[in-house]
Amino acid sequence: MSRKRKNVTNKDTERWASEWLKDWEKGIFRSFFDVLDVPSLGRSRRIKSTKTGRVHQLLSDLEYYVFLELDFDKSVLDIHEQFPLLPREKTIALSHELEIKHPRYPVTQVETVMTTDFCVKRECPESGKTILEAYSVKYASALDKEKCTERKLKRTQEKLELEKAYWNSRNISWLIITDELLNRTRIENLIWLFHCSRKEPGITSNISSWLNAFNACLQATTCWKLKTLLYKTAEICGVTSNTSVYLFKYLVWHQVVLVDLTKPLNLLHEYASEGIGINNREGVEL
């Protein structure tokens, strides 16, 4: 996608949309824009997903936190970020119906191609059917009349109303996710785990023997400091302490080792053995 975001013309938007749709029709997804294309709120990131194998373009810390939840969620099959609301003519028509000014590019005042922060493919546990869900990610302060001007709040609400109308027209569920809906401790744990979520041939080849040793340690006592538990497991199965920590994080991320992520998870905390479980269900990928 072109980095040009100044003096945007209709030809530019038509070209961007055409290029994106050609890829989409081939089964190739890419974010409608790169993090370098637009201003970010906080820290923007390019993050490779364990689930999709793609690099995702995230424009804020909050988008990163939501991405972690989606990447961790077993029911989520695919994650599409910065998803374009195409055709552009649809959102323009809806803006006229709703009597809302359509977002425009600066200087040229050409109508933008609107995007939704996340469009997610999810498997329904009850029916097994695959559905799409769209999420707009906002800091709660951006929706609080006490923390932003009346004019800014109204404009934010108008854009969200337009976005909602687009997804309603496609019979796709659309939700707003704010930072207030996320559990901060859980997010900190997911950040800690995520960097060990990928298979490393020299490390993850030890999974079976490590799990056996880990389970034996759990049965040996009722309470462990996590560091002691992992180092003892390393000693039994003959791997380094660093490998043992990596395997623990990897297996928690992939939900083979089960812990309560709403409680702080770090090496210096003590944990009751009954608070740590092992998922023995068939179909759990190691």
Q: Residues 15-73: pLDDT tens digits?
A: 999 999 999 999 999 999 888 877 666 688 999 999 999 999 999 999 999 999 999 99
| 118 within 8 A of 66, measured Cβ to Cβ | yes
Class of residue 126 by CB neighbours under 10 A (exposed 0-12, middle 13-18, buried 19+): exposed
Query: Residue with structure tokens 């997903």?
Result: 49
Instruction: Give the integer Cα–Cα distance in Å for 214 and 208.
Output: 10
pLDDT of residue 198: 92
Q: pTM (2 decimals)?
A: 0.93
Under 8 Å between Cβ of 251 and 212: no
**pLDDT confidence of residue 169:** 98
pLDDT surpasses 70 at 230: yes
pLDDT tens, position by position, 110-157: 999 999 999 999 998 888 899 999 999 999 999 999 999 999 999 999
Q: Report the chain's mean pLDDT, rounded to a whole number.
A: 92
pLDDT at position 285 over 80: no
For 207-217, write each residue's pLDDT tens digit: 999 999 999 99
pLDDT number for residue 202: 83
Pairing state between β 223-225 and 270-272? antiparallel
Q: What pLDDT score does 2 carry?
A: 42
Backbone angles phi, psi at 228, to 5 degrees: -65, -45
Q: Is residue 193 over pLDDT 50?
A: yes
Give the count of beta carbons closer than 10 Å to the beta carbon of residue 39: 8
Give 253-256's long-range contacts (Cβ < 8 A, gap of 24+).
253/50, 253/72, 253/193, 253/194, 253/196, 253/197, 254/197, 254/284, 254/285, 254/286, 255/74, 255/279, 255/284, 256/211, 256/284, 256/286
pLDDT at site 221: 80
Residue 3: pLDDT band with limits 50, 70, 90: very low
Residues facing residue 55 across a β-bridge: 48
76-84 and 115-123 as β-strands: parallel, antiparallel, unpaired? antiparallel
The beta-strand segments (E) located in the chain are 45-48, 55-58, 76-84, 115-123, 130-138, 173-178, 223-225, 257-258, 270-272, 277-278
Instruction: Label residue 281 by pLDDT band (50, 70, 90).
Output: low
Q: What does the CA dihedral 24, 8, 43, 142 come to, rounded to 10 degrees?
A: -100
Greater pLDDT, 203 or 77: 77
| Spatial separation of the C-alpha atoms in residues 79 and 29, rounded to whole Å | 9
Given this model, what pLDDT does residue 23 score?
96
Predicted confidence at residue 272, as pLDDT, reads 77
Q: Please, which pLDDT band fits residue 223 given cuts at 50, 70 and 90?
A: confident
